[in-house]
Structure 1
Amino acid sequence: MKIPAIRKLVKTYSLEELLQAEADILEEKTPSIEVEGDDEGEQLTHLIGSIEILRNIDNGMKESEALRAFTLRVRNSIS
């Protein structure tokens, strides 16, 4: 997981575009947008993170707070 890649997706694409790219990867298709990542798993991680962050922003969080909440959730799930 690379935070700069997630941040780039959040700033560049709409929620709908990110959801379509996620569906494309899950269906083993090439996404119509550029998603950084070493493999499909990492690309999917970046998409899931950016989707969660955009949804939190839509619910009133600032971008920095939404990013922090996502990374904290990931860290807690790993430990």
Structure 2
Amino acid sequence: MKIPAIKELVEKYSLEELQKAENAMEEGEEHSLEVKGEDEGEQFTHVIAAVWVKEKMAKDSIDARTAIREYTQKVRKSIS
């Protein structure tokens, strides 16, 4: 997981575009987004994270930076 890749997706694409890409990736289909990552798994992780961030921004009326910080804290807690 690379934060700059998630940030780029959040800034570049709408929630709807990200959700469509997420669904396509789940089904093993092609999508139209440019997603950075070393492999399909990392790219999928970036898209899932960007969807979470966009939803959090809308739900809590917060900026992308704050939502990304909350996402990374959530991931760290789940790992430890």
Using the alignment, how far apart are the partners of 1:63 and 1:13 within structure 2?
A: 13
Using the alignment, how far apart are the partners of 1:14 and 1:50 within structure 2?
A: 10
**Deviation string for 1:13-69 (max 9, x for gaps)?**
000100011111111112211111111111111011101111111121222110110
Using the alignment, how far apart are the partners of 1:29 and 1:35 within structure 2?
A: 14
RMSD: 0.8
TM-score by length of 1: 0.94
> Who is 1:3 aligned against?
3
> Who is 1:53 aligned against?
53
What fraction of aligned residue pairs are identical, expressed as a percent?
Answer: 47
Q: Which runs of 4+ in 1 moved over 4 A?
A: none
> Who is 1:72 aligned against?
73
What are the ranges of 5 or more consecutive residues in structure 2 without an aligned counterpart? none
Across the two proteins, how many residue pairs are aligned to each other? 79
| Post-superposition offset of 1:11 | 0.2
Mean Cα displacement is larger for which, 66-75 or 54-63? 54-63
